[in-house]
Amino acid sequence: VYVFYLIPASCLLSPYHTSFVLQKEEVEDNTDANMEGALIARDRVGVQDFVLLDSHTSETSFLNNLRKRYQENLIYTYIGTLLVSVNPYKELDIYTVTQMQLYRGVNFFELPPHLYAIADNAYRVMCSEYNNHFILISGESGAGKTEASKKILQYYAVTCPTTEQLQIVRDRLLLSNPVLEAFGNAKTLRNDNSSRFGKYMDIQFDFKGAPVGGHILSYLIEKSRVVHQNHGERNFHIFYQLLEGGDKDLLCWLGLERNPQKYAYLIQGRCAKVFSINDKNDWKIVRKAFSIIDFTEKDLEHLFGIVASVLHLGNIQFEEDSNGHAIIRNGTQIKWISKVSFPSQVVLVLQVLSPLNVDLAFYARDAVAKAIYGRTFTWLVNKINGSLANKDSTRKTVIGLLDIYGFEVLDTNSFEQFCINYCNEKLQQLLIEMTLKAEQEEYELEGIEWEPIPYFNNKIICDLVEQKHKGIISILDEECLRPGEATDLSFLEKLEEKVGDHAHFVTRKLADQKTRKSIDWVDFRLLHYAGEVTYFAKLNKLFSMSSQVATQFKNSLMSLIEILMSKEPSYVRCIKPNENKEPGKFDDFLIRHQVKYLGLMEHLRVRRAGFAYRRKYELFLQRYKSLCPATWPHWHGPAAEGVERLIKHLGYKPEEYKLGRTKIFIRFPKTLFATEDAFEIRKHLLGMLEACWRGALARKEAKKRTWAVQIIRKFINGFINRKKPLCPENIEFVRLVQYKYFMKLRDHVPKNVLDKSWLRPPSILEETSEMLKKICIRNLVRKYCRGVTAERKVQLQQKVVASAVFRGKKEGYLQSINQPFADTRLSEYTPNLLKGLCQMLTPAPCFQYATPVVKYDRNGFKARERLLVLTQSSAYVVEMAKIKQKIDYATLKGNGVNWCGAFLPISDPLTLPLLCFQGDVILHCEHIFEVVSKLCMLANKQNLVKVVQGR
């Protein structure tokens, strides 16, 4: 016996991911649509994955789970990766941009079931693995297939990366829908916007994941609706939109009136006006869509002309002449058809080349109208494809959307129902095959032995319909093309002859006594995977001209299956909860019927034939590790070993689980639920301990907050009284301000005497700051002075002398400030030169300085290279150890040394550093400031130098 406790629904529902997810937005909004994250009982909202149903073979259990969720506005439920969607017939706040962003990039089973999860999973896998996908959306009319397709397109439009150029492609993809709906959708008894054609759309993505193009394939548009509608139904939307929304000039040119009651093809259902449909607004949307998807005015002129031609064609009336042939007496409609470019020769063929009676003439008129509309729809789809085509030849990945009619069982099942149900047989076969393939591949990947899964293989039914030479379609081809007149009875006889022994085929003749009463003489019955369907086989009404259509449909369906087989699948099964479109009403009989013909139980059995639950070791261990002392609170070994230790402690039996390479597989939902319940009990106990611990932490935190409030109040009071003398009210605030300033000043003290910056103090520390600034500067000066060497001191003294002489008087002095003065340049010259000089001088002098110069002769100003040597008492001009001039410092007068050169006949002499002794010796010296300062210091005469103004 398993007792079910209150547990998070999102924790126990996924066979692949049972993480405890509680979205913040879901809690805050507290809306019915977001109940998945709340703490609620399993028996209230059911499980969000049918795979976890204990009685997975019971339709009653299936319906009960679906009903529970539907009553809580939970319209989505998984079967593995298949999504079951129930039409709510009301607006739910689950399709917002916020919801789109919530599901964007999230693991498939991490959030509650949603259409966005299907779309996002296909997109992410496509981008990561660079392969193609398709999403198959099926269900009967009114179940919400078209809306689901729209929501997926909108999701990609919002969440995919795009540019300004790609925005055009995105708009065209979105706006192709209203155009196709206008020409391909109609009001039926089941749905006010029922798609009367099958549609497959490829959305093309570039390597960045941006939508760059698309392509549409259409299947089996219901052309019979053009000429006939049942009571309570309408023709295709475009006719009513044109009459209601088209401007006056357009209608005048087309020869149309606004009143749909004027046209025979629009009033047979006696439902031209529908409360839920605004044809005028829809016309505006369609017109805007045409401009976006690149239709020219000429294209629209031809298109609307053909639409008008169909209406005029329906108003043509025939009368019988004397020979029993049909004739047209009123040619008004013919004239309008001719005016709007409908080929009038077609009508002439009906009257002149093939004389018909009145009944056959009306039949031929309707056949022409259906053919025209069918070809127009094909042209329209091709035109839209041209607009969506991407011209870039680089490889694209695609996500296909297949919005296809569901299996249908009507009171009278026509040839169209035969094609629709055949299509669903093929798609059911594809679904089962691909599901089995996916299951088998996962088992093989995990190293688990594959056990054959029993299921009904409907290939036998597909072969009954499509097999060459023996299938129903081939027999129909043969019967319609053989010489002589084909009749319904001859067709039935041929079927009985060739497929009469088939287990899924029955006619009145072949049936037993009990079944025979429910089959007419012109009927045959097929036992589809979804149930028995009786088809009306009268050739002259339902199967006339159907031979080629059936073959073409079969070929196009085979082509579609090939397209789908090359892609990775995702499935959406749409269910209509009631016939009256009432919110909240759950019709068990109707839904049970849909569950059967959608193959949901079959799919569930395939999913459950193996294992109901599988999950990676790391995630399983992380969630349930608290249930085993060996794994709690931490397991330090491999995750697989930890899981094995955990399940042995829990008492799992060998038949309940398998261990794969990376995942644990649990066969029965009850095993998982028991584990989940045990986890909830443990979590409850841990929750009590956690509550105590959190209480202690909360009290500690409250104490800290109380202390903080007191401190804040104290410092606010101190700030108010900060300018008063120190007192109990402000002392702590003042001390804090002082401390903060001094700590900050510590990191901003000037590092040298040239740095004049100082941290600005608060007003209460201005005096203290000024005192500290003076002390700091004095300390920096003292530190600097103590660090100056004797050699450096002499250099600085020379700088002082040079500054006194040249500062503000000679351009170029400022550039020399950063250049250090050399005490002597003796080391730069040959020692032998000075040694020879010492031998010529007695007593031998003490050389203080030497530098190369250029001497200019007074006569002719010839340049000669010399060496200027300074001693303690004299200056010498030397050449090759020969003394050329000697200047004694004692003979120099205050104005005897001139910085002069204005009289020299050389180019711009003021640019040359010239030194003139008594007007007799003129020297060009590169280090002029250094030489002059050294000379002044040696001669001990600070006023020897006269500076000539200029450069």
| Model pLDDT for residues 260-292, shown as the tens digit of each residue | 999 999 999 888 888 889 999 999 999 999 988
**Rounded to whole angstroms, how far apart are CA atoms 396 and 60?**
45
**Cβ contact 614:595 at 8 Å:** no
Which one of the listed residues 46, 80, 142, 642 is annotated catalytic? 142
> Which CATH number is correct for 415-568, 3.20.20.70, 3.30.1360.120, 1.10.1370.30, 1.20.58.530?
1.20.58.530
Cα distances from 360 to residues 352, 370, 594, in angstroms, run 14, 15, 39
Asked about 406 being catalytic, the answer comes back as: yes
Q: What is the pLDDT of residues 544-598, one digit of tens each?
A: 455 567 778 888 888 888 888 888 889 999 999 998 889 999 999 999 988 988 8
Which one of the listed residues 195, 387, 546, 871 is annotated catalytic? 195
**Cβ contact 108:615 at 8 Å:** no
Which one of the listed residues 10, 14, 73, 146 is annotated catalytic? 146
**Rounded to whole angstroms, how far apart are CA atoms 606 and 201?**
28
Asked about 195 being catalytic, the answer comes back as: yes
Which one of the listed residues 222, 408, 416, 479 is annotated catalytic? 408
Burial 177-187 (b: 16+ CB within 10 A, else e): bbbbbbbbbbb
Q: What is the pLDDT of residues 717-726, one digit of tens each?
A: 988 888 888 8
Question: What are the tokens at 44?
Answer: 């209230």
The CATH architecture assigned to 792-948 reads Roll (2.30)
From the CB of residue 660, how many other CB atoms can be counted at a distance below 10 Å? 18
Domain chopping of the chain, boundaries? 1-22+669-787, 160-407, 415-568, 614-627+639-667, 792-948
Task: For helices 459-466 and 415-446, give the axis angle rounded to 10 degrees.
Answer: 140
Asked about 146 being catalytic, the answer comes back as: yes
Q: What is the pLDDT of residue 282?
A: 94
The three-class DSSP label of residue 502 is coil
Asked about 874 being catalytic, the answer comes back as: no
Q: What is the pLDDT of residues 655-707, one digit of tens each?
A: 888 898 999 988 887 788 788 878 878 877 777 777 888 888 899 999 999 99
Which one of the listed residues 77, 194, 435, 874 is annotated catalytic? 194
144 known member of a binding site: yes
Phi, psi of 718, deg, nearest 5: -65, -35
**Rounded to whole angstroms, how far apart are CA atoms 211 and 152?**
13
Query: Average of pLDDT values for 337-357?
Result: 55
610 known member of a binding site: no
**Rounded to whole angstroms, how far apart are CA atoms 65 and 277?**
34
**Rounded to whole angstroms, how far apart are CA atoms 459 and 471?**
12
Q: What is the pLDDT of residues 171-193, one digit of tens each?
A: 888 889 999 999 999 998 888 88
**Cβ contact 438:588 at 8 Å:** no
Question: Which residues, at least 6 apart from 788, have a Cβ–Cβ distance to it below 8 Å?
Answer: 796
Asked about 194 being catalytic, the answer comes back as: yes
CA 819 centroid distance within chain: 65
Burial 823-838 (b: 16+ CB within 10 A, else e): eeebeeeeeebbeebe
Question: Which residues, at least 6 apart from 80, have a Cβ–Cβ distance to it below 8 Å?
Answer: 15, 49, 51, 435, 603, 607
Q: What is the pLDDT of residue 911?
A: 52
**Cβ contact 156:118 at 8 Å:** no
Question: Which residues, at least 6 apart from 368, have a Cβ–Cβ distance to it below 8 Å?
Answer: 313, 346, 350
Which one of the listed residues 73, 138, 141, 159 is annotated catalytic? 141
**Nearest CA among 617, 596, 470 for reference residue 532:** 596
CA angle 156, 161, 163 (to 5 degrees): 115
pLDDT of 826 > 70? The answer is no
> Which CATH number is correct for 160-407, 2.10.109.10, 3.40.50.920, 3.30.565.10, 1.20.120.720?
1.20.120.720
Strand order in the sheet with 921-925: 882-888, 874-879, 863-870, 849-856, 921-925, 914-917, 897-899, 945-947
Q: Which residue has the higher pLDDT, 645 or 546?
A: 645
Asked about 376 being catalytic, the answer comes back as: no
Q: What is the pLDDT of residues 218-231, one digit of tens each?
A: 888 888 899 999 89
**Cβ contact 287:250 at 8 Å:** no
Q: What is the pLDDT of residue 22?
A: 30
**Cβ contact 85:115 at 8 Å:** yes
146 known member of a binding site: yes
**Cβ contact 367:361 at 8 Å:** no
Which of the four pLDDT bands, split at 50, 70 and 90, describes residue 912? low
**Nearest CA among 166, 179, 182, 181 for reference residue 214:** 166
141 known member of a binding site: yes
Least confident piece of the model among 212-221, 270-279, 738-747, 872-881: 872-881
Which one of the listed residues 198, 214, 400, 406 is annotated catalytic? 406
**Cβ contact 203:174 at 8 Å:** no
Which of the four pLDDT bands, split at 50, 70 and 90, describes residue 771? very high
CA angle 917, 919, 924 (to 5 degrees): 60
Q: What is the pLDDT of residue 949?
A: 47
Q: pLDDT over 70 for what percent of the chain?
A: 87
Residue with tokens 């398998």: 658
**Nearest CA among 125, 622, 150 for reference residue 398:** 125
User: What's this model's pTM, rounded to 2 decimal places?
Assistant: 0.63
**Rounded to whole angstroms, how far apart are CA atoms 572 and 606?**
17
**Rounded to whole angstroms, how far apart are CA atoms 825 and 926?**
13
Question: What are the tokens at 55?
Answer: 């009685």
Cα distances from 593 to residues 140, 531, 599, in angstroms, run 11, 9, 10
**Nearest CA among 2, 46, 34, 173 for reference residue 586:** 46
The pairing of beta strand 397-405 with beta strand 133-139: parallel
The three-class DSSP label of residue 84 is strand
Question: Which residues, at least 6 apart from 300, have a Cβ–Cβ distance to it below 8 Å?
Answer: 290
232 known member of a binding site: no
Query: Average of pLDDT values for 461-486?
Result: 83
Q: Which helix (H) or strand (E) segment is 779 a member of?
A: helix 766-786
Average pLDDT for the chain = 81
Please spell the DSSP secondary structure of 705-771, one letter per residue. HHHHHHHHHHHHHHHHTTTSPS-TTTHHHHHHHHHHHHHHHHTS--SSTT----PPPPGGGHHHHHH
